Amino acid sequence: MIAEPTPKISPPGWRERIAGKVAEWTPPTDGARGVRSPHLWIIIAMMAVLTLVYYAGHTPLARFGGFLTCDYPHDIHRVLFLFPIMYAAVVFRRWGALSASFLFLCIVLPRPFICSPYAAPLLRPLIFVLFTAFLGLLTALLIEQKEKEAKAHATLKIAHQQLKETQEHLIHAEKLTSLGQLAASVAHEVNNPISGVLVYTQLLSKKMTADTLTKEKALDYLSKMESELTRTGQLIRNLLDFARQTKPTLSLVNINEVLDRASSLVAHSAKLQRVEIVKDISVNLPELMADPNQLQQVFTNLMVNAIQAMPQGGKLSLRTAADNSQVKIEIQDTGVGISPENMRKLFTPFFTTRREVKGVGLGLAVSYGIIQHHQGKIEVQSKEGEGTTFTIYLPLHREEKG
For residue 127, the model assigns a pLDDT of: 83
| CB contact at 8 A, 354 and 302 | no
For residue 59, the model assigns a pLDDT of: 60
For residue 317, the model assigns a pLDDT of: 96
Give the integer Cα–Cα distance in Å for 40 and 33. 8
Q: Rounded to whole angstroms, what are the CA distances from 267 to 76, 274, 278, 298, 303? A: 102, 10, 11, 16, 10
| CB contact at 8 A, 320 and 255 | yes
Exposed, middle or buried by CB within 10 Å (0-12, 13-18, 19+), for 302?
Answer: buried
For residue 22, the model assigns a pLDDT of: 55
For residue 352, the model assigns a pLDDT of: 58
Give the integer Cα–Cα distance in Å for 152 and 154. 5
**What would the pLDDT profile of 86-131 be if each residue is shown by its tens digit?**
888 888 888 888 888 888 888 887 877 666 666 666 777 788 888 8
The residue type of 316 is L
Give the integer Cα–Cα distance in Å for 242 and 362. 7
For residue 2, the model assigns a pLDDT of: 34
For residue 376, the model assigns a pLDDT of: 94
Parse the chain into domains and list their residue ranges.
Answer: 15-163, 185-244, 251-395
For residue 177, the model assigns a pLDDT of: 73
Give the integer Cα–Cα distance in Å for 375 and 219. 46
Give the integer Cα–Cα distance in Å for 281 and 254. 12
Give the integer Cα–Cα distance in Å for 314 and 333. 7
Alpha helix segments (H runs only) across 109-122:
110-115
For residue 399, the model assigns a pLDDT of: 59
Is 185-244 CATH 3.30.300? no
Q: Which residues of the chain have pLDDT under 50?
A: 1-9, 71-72, 355-360, 402
Give the integer Cα–Cα distance in Å for 271 and 269. 5
pTM: 0.46
Among the four given CATH numbers 3.30.565.10, 3.40.50.12780, 3.40.50.300, 3.50.50.60, the one describing domain 251-395: 3.30.565.10
For residue 367, the model assigns a pLDDT of: 84
Strand partners, 317: 278, 332
Give the integer Cα–Cα distance in Å for 146 and 140. 10
